Amino acid sequence: MLQICSVLLILAVTCAGPAASDDDPAPRLRQGSHQSEEAGRKQLEEYASTFDSAPQWQKRAANIRQQILRGAGLDPMPARPPIVPIIHDRRIYDGYSVESIAIETVPGFYLTGSIYRPTEGDGPFPGVLSPHGHSRGEAGGRKRDQNQIRSAVLARMGAVVIGYDMVGFGDSLLAGWKHEHPKLLPLQTFNSIRMLDYLVSREDVDAERIGITGSSGGGTQSFLLTAIDDRITVSVPVVMVSAHFFGGCDCESGHPIHVSAHHDTNNAEIAALAAPRPMMLISCGDDWTQNTDQVEFPYAQRVYRLLGVEEKVENLHLAGEKHDYGSSKRQGAYTFLAKHLGIDTDGHLGTDGSFDESFVTQETWQRMRVFDEKRPWPSDALAPNSDVVFPTKQSDSN
């Protein structure tokens, strides 16, 4: 099986972790299958009992948001100076183009990816971030078929879509970076923030219409960024949001974002921080999202109902499906994203009423590489697996 669900193998652990805060000397982590399905369900009931109105939820949500940033080591938020992107190698396909991009997110760390854009029009187009999961190797990461297809289809429909590498995947892997780093969660989360900074800075992108979608570890990145950054206006986390599973990789749960002296939460509640912005949970019957229609979705529904926008949250539960971002999941996501990003679907539906994907050109990894022998990494790029130093606000030129 292509996908490497290493996360499935992680056993429940509760242990001391990094980044102790002043009044929480033994930071607690909730990782992997930290608790049973029943415990997750009961935990949501307990959380729900703490709020019964919009203001009560908003107070709880604001605290969780702050504690996620704190637990991730991003409070205070590092400096975010203007981005000067490296963009090259434009390829033209059927109704969309692909370019290679790198941005320096922290000094010396270059985040690499692919920009998919409509070939027609000047915009402004909606923007979509498209993080990937933990599928490894040359067929995985940003190159994985399901990632290329959804990015190309959304671009041809009229969106600017950016897929970007996890640390130790894609170009980062080829450079020698591992997907293991003491600051993996802070770095990847900050990378998402910086790619969002770049996306909304583009003249052809409408900063009021910004989506994010990804599956598995890409689902974690999707709901985490949505929770902490209100510039995301619509989100579709796929096969990841669970009340009992916390993500088995350090990039998802290696920092104390779920529990501290000041908060107690799980991924179902973190996803609900998207409210009142439109969100679709896509779940399946073969992983930790198997109860979503009965457990995680009703929790989110209650939050949205309290805010008076119940119609903005949806669940596409595919009980007969597995852990991927397969065709039927993509179809649901296209419909939801188009509806909430103001994308006209005319001309993009096949005779059977589903979105056409037949035109997509699957690129080879050689084609998708941002840096190679002809286009080397910038001379100031950090050595692989170096420490990364988040710039302080004082060093910001703004």
Q: Which is nearer to Zn ion, 112 or 291 (CB)?
A: 112
Q: Work out the angle between the directed axes of helices 54-71 and 296-306 (0-180°, nearest 10).
A: 120
> Least separation, in Å, of the C-beta of 169 and Zn ion?
9
For residue 307, give every residue at least 6 positions away whose Cβ sits within 8 Å of its Cβ, in sequence order, or none.
54, 57, 275, 276
Stretch that binds Zn ion, among 113-121, 247-255, 355-363, 374-382 (CB under 5 A): 247-255
For residue 307, the surrounding DSSP H or E stretch is none
> Closest distance between Zn ion and the C-beta of residue 223, in Å?
14
CA–CA separation, 158 and 161 (whole Å): 9
Residues 6+ apart with CB under 8 A from 266: 30, 40, 43, 44, 242, 243, 244, 246, 258
Question: What is the DSSP track for 281-297?
Answer: EEEESSSTTTTTTTTHH
Q: 231 and 212 in contact (C-beta within 8 Å)? A: no
Question: What are 369's two structure tokens?
Answer: 């590489």
Minimum Å distance from CB 236 to Zn ion?
20
Q: Give 215 or 233: the residue with its C-beta nearer to Zn ion.
A: 215
Q: How far is the CB of 319 from Zn ion (least distance, A)?
A: 27
Select from 228-236, 242-250, 263-271, 277-285 the region that touches Zn ion (CB under 5 A).
242-250
Cβ distance to Zn ion smaller for residue 40 or 217: 217
Element housing 26 (H / E):
none
Q: Which stretch binds Zn ion (CB under 5 A): 18-26, 76-84, 190-198, 250-258?
A: 250-258
Q: How far apart are CA 126 and CA 200, in angstroms?
A: 9
Q: Which is nearer to Zn ion, 10 or 199 (CB)?
A: 10
Cβ(161)–Cβ(204) under 8 Å? no
Which of residues 211 and 219 has its CB atom nearest to Zn ion in the complex?
Answer: 219
Q: Which two tokens stand for residue 175?
A: 């450079």
Q: Which stretch binds Zn ion (CB under 5 A): 138-146, 249-257, 271-279, 327-335?
A: 249-257
**Which range binds Zn ion by CB under 5 A, 19-27, 243-251, 258-266, 348-356?**
243-251
CB of 262 to Zn ion, least distance (A): 25
Q: Which is nearer to Zn ion, 160 or 251 (CB)?
A: 251
Cβ–Cβ contacts within 10 Å for residue 18, how many? 15
- Binding segment for Zn ion (CB under 5 A), chosen from 49-57, 73-81, 205-213, 241-249, is 241-249
Q: Which is nearer to Zn ion, 95 or 141 (CB)?
A: 141
3-class DSSP assignment, residue 55: helix
Smaller CB distance to Zn ion: residue 117 or 181? 181
Shortest spacing between CB 339 and Zn ion, in angstroms: 31
Nearest approach, Cβ of residue 18 and Zn ion (Å): 16
Q: How far is the CB of 246 from Zn ion (least distance, A)?
A: 12
Binning the chain into helix, strand and coil, the percentages to the nearest 5 are 35, 20, 50
Task: Give residue 20's Cα distance to chain centre.
Answer: 25
Strands of the sheet containing 313-318, edge to edge, are 86-92, 96-106, 109-118, 160-164, 125-129, 205-215, 234-238, 279-284, 313-318
- Selected range binding Zn ion among 77-85, 148-156, 246-254, 370-378, rule: CB under 5 A: 246-254
Q: Under the criterion CB under 5 A, does residue 7 sit at the interface with Zn ion?
A: no
What are the φ and ψ backbone dihedral angles of 109, each rounded to 5 degrees?
A: -105, 120
Write down the least CB distance from residue 189 to Zn ion, Å: 11
We find the least distance from the C-beta atom of residue 61 to Zn ion, in angstroms, to be 25
Tokens of 261: 């002296």
Q: Which is nearer to Zn ion, 234 or 240 (CB)?
A: 240
Residue from the set 111, 249, 257, 338 that interacts with Zn ion by CB under 5 A: 249
Nearer to Zn ion, 30 or 202 (CB): 30
Q: Give, as ranges, the residues between 159 and 178 that touch Zn ion (CB under 5 A).
A: none
Q: Which of 187, 251, 259, 281 binds Zn ion (CB under 5 A)?
A: 251
Taking the C-alpha atoms of residue 120 and residue 108, their distance in angstroms, rounded to an integer, is: 35
Contacts to Zn ion by CB under 5 A:
249, 251
